[in-house]
Each structure stands twice: as C-alpha cells, then as structure tokens.
Structure 1
Amino acid sequence: MTLLAALSAPGSYRLTGTGRWRSAFAVTELATASIAAVGLELARLVNALNLAPVSPEVTVDQRLASLWFSYSFRPEGWELPSLWDPVAGNYETADGWIRLHTNLPHHRQSALKVLDCAGSRAAVAVAVKQWQAGLLENQIVTAGGAAAAMRSRADWLAHPQGRAVASEPLIHWTSPRKIQLRDRLQATADRPLAGLRVLDLTRVLAGPVSTRTLAGFGADVLRIDPPGWDEPGVISDVSLGKRMASLDLCNFQDRQRFEVLLSNADVLVHGYRPCALDGLGYGADARRRISPNAVEVSLDAYGWTGPWALRRGFDSLVQMSAGIADTGRVQAKAGDPHPLPVQALDHATGYLMAAAVLSALATAAQGVAVPAACLSLARTAELLAGMQKCAEGPDVTKPANSDFAQEIENSGWGPGRRLAAPLALDTSQMRWDRPASRCGSAPAYWPE
C-alpha cells in the first residue's frame, strides 16, 4: 500500500456517513481521501511493527471528515475570539482583487506601511482601490507582509510559480538515509504511536493539524513557540493532545534546551519557509547531526521550487493565487472572490503530512532508507483542482449536536465539546489524551 493509495483507490478503505461541502471543487472528496491516507499508512505501520496479526481495516466517516476540515471545537458557556484580524480580507483594486493576510501583527504593519493609511477596514479599502493588484501584492510581500492578488486558473498555470508547482510531486521525498527507530514498549495495536516523540515547530494551520492527528493515536507531541506567541481563535482547535512550550532560539540556554529536545525526538515536523531554520543555525546538516534518527516532514506555502519558493503564504492566499477563488467566483456568477467553504488546503496538507510521517516510520521499521518529506499548500491546491466530484448526500453547513463527542473537554480556555473522530481502524480509535491548552503552558522537556 502506498501513501497515495487513498487518492487513487477509494476502495482501499471503508466509507461511512453522508454529506458534502457545496463547492466548485471536490472539497469533501479531498477530506475523505487525505484522512484515509492517514489511516492506511497507520495500518501499514501497525503491520511493520507486528502490533496486530492482520492488517487493520480503515474507516472514514464522510460527514465527520468534512466537518473536521472546519472547526472541531465548540465552546460551552463562552465564546472563541475571532479568527481574523479586522483588516484581513478581500479588497477590490483598480484592476481586480487582492487578499490581505494581517492576522500576525508584523504582517498587518507591513501592509499598512505600504498602503500608507489608517488601520481601519474602510481606510484600507480606499487605499487599495488606488493600486493594481499585482503591484500591490509585490510591494506588500517585499515589505515583509502577506498578500495575494486574485488570479484565474489559466493565469496561475501560465505563471512561473504555477508552472513550478505543477511539476513538483505531491510529496517531495528527499535525502534518504538509514535511521534506527527507538524501541517503544508502550506501542500497541490500540495506541500504535504511544511513546513516539514528535517535536512540533509549526504554526497556523496545516502543520498543527498534522501533529494533532498523530497525537490522536498516542504520540507525545511537544510544540515549541517563541515566548509570547499566540494564535487567537485557532489554538483551541489545533493544540488538542499536545503539550505547548516556549523557547527563544536566540537565547543560548533555550538553544541548548532545544537541541536536547531535538536529539531525543523521533519525529520533527516544521513549517518554516525554506532556509529559515538555516538562519537560526539549524539547517538540514545541523538537524541531522543533532538528531540522526529523526523522521522529518516539512511544509511551505508556495512550493519548494520556482521564484516564490521563499514567499510567505497561507491557505486563503494560495486560494487567491492558484485560481481557486476566481473559479468559485465564476461558478457563482459573482464579481468578488468566492473561496472554498473551508480552509481545505491547510487541512488536507496537514493530514498528508501526518500520513508522510507514518509512511516514513513504516519504511524505517522495514530497514529501508527513509527520506525527508516536503509538502506545500500550493501543490495540494493542484491536487484539489484535478479531483472529480463524486461525494453524495445533503450539503454540509454546520455541525449538529450529534456530530460531537459526548465528553466535555476542559480546554485551557474553558469547557467545550469536540467533534467525534472522523477516522478509525478496527484495532484503534482516534482519541486524545490531553485537552487543548494554551501556548507556553507546559515545560519544554520530554517525559521519562
């Protein structure tokens, strides 16, 4: 069974439930396939580790898979903060549309500096209208911000970056090496990832989805953020099952602590732009020297080759760049951008990253050289664009009470309920040992 079996052979897993997202693209099909890829690779790992006498059957609930591509946590008696900064969003330009991503303070400052206007949505709208979309995009990105002009699919496929991404594999496996897996006596067919140490260096949203998924089958996930980091409206969704710690990698003592953590990690997942870790002194050679037996999976936004390989990006921006928002606009017969109903590029890429980790672990268990895996939101967009819509059932709009697990989750912000798990093996149920917790709420160490 290969990692892409779920994408090419839906019959390799059992599908239950009904419901689909209304979209110009095969969003529900992408959800079920990417989540199934996790299950199929986990079953392969169970076999490689001889944890079960026969290969486990994989089941995906189509409705729940669709819903997990949205928000999985519902507060009870309190409200989540807004996911979006007030300035973030789509704006009409002199010749089209652009999306500004201003959730991070330094991205907001960069955009406002280029626009030379007040930080209100009305002021930004007036300023943006004076610019051509492509020029404004370039100026904001050059200033250290994050923005994307709306392009058609044809324009994207003709663009140098679109051509580069289209030529990349969905999962780029590089630099294979033999690694020695650490013995994990805690691992069972029921909790096959128990004792697996996953060092999480990811932010919004795909990377955290991948490590949340691994935690769901028993992995010990330790996420490291800079001191003071927060992602309001997101952390309660993606910190499920993890310990959340803080380290300053510009501080000598914190760097020492980080290197101890890395040297004892079984898996490293990071979402830094290419070469960013190099700038901190932790390039590929240094990482392998510190942790020669760690599986590594990494993520970026716009692909690993081409002129935009180093560009900052997020799901909503890639949808604008890659023609997804424009295709939705055309189908809706509207004038403004129509993105996907959920951040499907983030979620699908996250599940594919988790599947890549499991695939690498299974390969290592068989004594075969293990490559590192690189994925990108833009390449997942190409996968989505090529998928056929075939999901049946009523439109998914929002979760019903019956879609949530019965247990109360006492998160770091207050009580709530989590969606029921969308994936199961007949030997293992997806569940989390820790509630969602705040950034910096745990010490930076591996438990004995």
Structure 2
Amino acid sequence: KTTMPEDSPLKPHSDSNTSFLRAARAGNIEKVLDFLKSGQDISTCNQNGLNALHLAAKEGHVQLVEELLERGATVDSSTKKGNTALHIACLAGQKEVAKLLVKRGADVNTQSQNGFTPLYMAAQENHLDVVRYLLENGGNQSIATEDGFTPLAIALQQGHNQVVSLLLEHDTKGKVRLPALHIAARKDDTKSAALLLQNDHNADVQSKSGFTPLHIAAHYGNVNVATLLLNRGAAVDFTARNGITPLHVASKRGNTNMIALLLDRGSQIDAKTRDGLTPLHCAARSGHDTAVELLLERGAPILARTKNGLSPLHMSAQGDHVECVKHLLQHKAPVDDVTLDYLTALHVAAHCGHYRVTKLLLDKKANPNARALNGFTPLHIACKKNRVKVMELLVKYGASIQAITESGLTPVHVSAFMGHLNIVLLLLQNGASPDVCNIVSK
C-alpha cells in the first residue's frame, strides 16, 4: 500500500516506484532527478509511508535532501508512525541533514504518534551533537512522550551520561529536572535519582501540584528511592497542596513498608491535611487493614477528627471495610463516636447499606437508637435509603420502630414519603403503628 488514492493506477508504476525509492536511499541524485523528470510523484511512499525525503535523510544524503526540497518535497511529511524526515535524521544521528531540514522550516518539536520529538530520539540514541544542535535551535526538552518520558528521562534510563549532563546544562528554567527526579522516584530508579541529585542537590523539587519526589515514591511504595531521597535531605513531612504529606500518600495507598520507613525517619503520625485527615483516616477510608494495624501499633490518634468530625471508624464504615472496623474497635475506638451532626458509624453504615459492617457494629454493642442532630436514628436512615436488609437487621437488634425525628417523623413516615412501600409493609408487619401523627403537618 502507498498513501496514494486507492483508484490510482498504481500497478503499472509499482516497479518504477520501488526503483525511485531505492535510488533515493542510495543517494543517487542523477537517477532520482531522471525519475522526477519523467513524471515520478515526489511524494511516493513505501508500505511504511517512507518517501524519498525520509530515505535520503536516514542515510545522510545532504545534497539529495536539498534537491528534493527544492523540487517541492514537503519538509514535514510524516510516515505511518508519524515520523518526519527530522525525526528520522535525528534517530540516525545525521546532524548535517537535521541542520538542513531545520533551516528549511522543519518543525523542531513535532511529535510522532507516541509523542516522540526529534530531541527525544537523538537523546535516546546518544547522538550528542544532534542533541546540542536541537537544543540551540528551539528543541523543547519538557515535551514528554505518551508514557510521560522526557528526553532527560530516556537519556537517564539508557545511561547516556553526556547527554544527561548536556540536557541539564541547557535546562535553565528548571522545568525538566523536576519531572526527571519524579520519574526516577516513580520507577524506583536510584541510579538516575543519584545522578540527578549530583547536578542539583535539592531533593524536594516540586511538581506543579506541589508534590515532591518523596510523595511520588510514597505513592508507588518505592522504598529504595525513598531511602536515597531521605538520605539526601528530603523533608520527611513536606506538605504539598492541601497539607498532604508523604505519610498521608503511603497510608492512602496501603504501602506498609513505606509507612514504616517514614515513621522511622520521624514522620508526624498525627499530621492533618487541610480537611483534617490524618494518615489513619487515609488508610481507613481506603480499606488497607494492614496499614491501619501498623499505624495503630505506632500510636496513631484513634479519636482524630476531620473538619466534619469524621473519625477513622466512620470512614471504615463508609467504605464497608470490615477488617479495618475490627482493628479500630480492638484498639478501643468508641463504637458510638459521633460527628459534628451526631452521626455514629452505625448511621453511616445504614446510609450506605453496608450489611456486614452494620452487623459487626451491632455485635460490638453499637446503639441502634442513636439520634443524630436532626433526630434521625440509623433505622430512619435505612428506611429513607431503602436499605431493606440493614433495616431488618436494625429491627432485630432492637431499633425502635416508633422513634421520632426532630420534625416528628417515624421510620414509617420516612419510607412512605420516599415511596418505599416494601419497607412500609415490613415495618407494619413488625408492629409499627400507621397512626402516629407527625408533628409538622404538611
């Protein structure tokens, strides 16, 4: 296939196309010009979408590249993979061709299908002179591939130390050195991280959202690079936007080895985010029972409150995390602890319809008739949210069917108002009175 229209009379020309492209690859200017004079299309491609300009660029035929451009070859035409002649020249280390193409208007920062730039390709292949030329002529090293790799990151990965140094020297704005250390942290690549820290001793460079490489290492559970960063002076409790520390991140992800490392290095176990979350809240909300257990053993504050007054127990109940609830209760978390609105964990479990957590809390003597600020009991909430199984469980454990809210509503009123007739019938079967007047008449 070529990139010509399907109805083009290609068959008779296919041999001449092949010969034309072969001549271009060989750098045979005379032959190429003869073909063009006899009407050969200058943009003819092979099956991978490579045309004469691409092939001549790859082989370093500077004069032929010039001739083709003079005769109307498109400087930024691309192959099926989205590579231009400049990509191909840079990948092959053809500096003179690259210079000519740039002078003739080639886009220095054009990206192929996978997001590769010419600079990325030259860095990947260790073509030092090409890298230098591109940097001096507008090559932007902060453009990353689809996988998030910058030229610096790939040079680090390939161990091209001279290219790394060159890229670092040209990075006056500090835009790239920052992601590179973050990338090293993400990949647990201590070699690259160490090399970067030699060039820049700041282990706490921040991403746009204010996260340091230690936050990234904490997220991925990369203990090796975290240890290196801490040894090189990274702040163990560096607070990113919203007050998030690396310990919060590790706890949210359930990375117990990282939690242990950070605590051993003096991380504050009771640090709070802007919303009042402690690391224990983060682990409990995500259901990481081993992380919850470790934090509790290390003395995490079990009664800590978020801004809304939620305890770690509330958060475990909300997520249906039975094991976390067990750990918290074993460590003497008060089962009827309340939020600012006087909601207990049982209210939360009933609201979400979490049967197992509801049963566990009731077995641990949670009060089935606890009243929230508006007078709602867990049974009111289960009825409102149509949580049939939870409602039956609450009744079985002694929840009052006639409990009245601040505005005078019983569970029957609430379920009838919401249109949950199945629950109304169940409540009536369990002895609820349909006749209780609600105080606030509609």
User: Given the two structures, how large is their TM-score scaled by the length of structure 1?
Assistant: 0.17
Q: Which has the higher contact order (CA 8 A, sep 6+)?
A: 1
Which is strand-richer, 1 or 2? 1
The structure with the largest alpha-carbon Rg is 2
Which is helix-richer, 1 or 2? 2
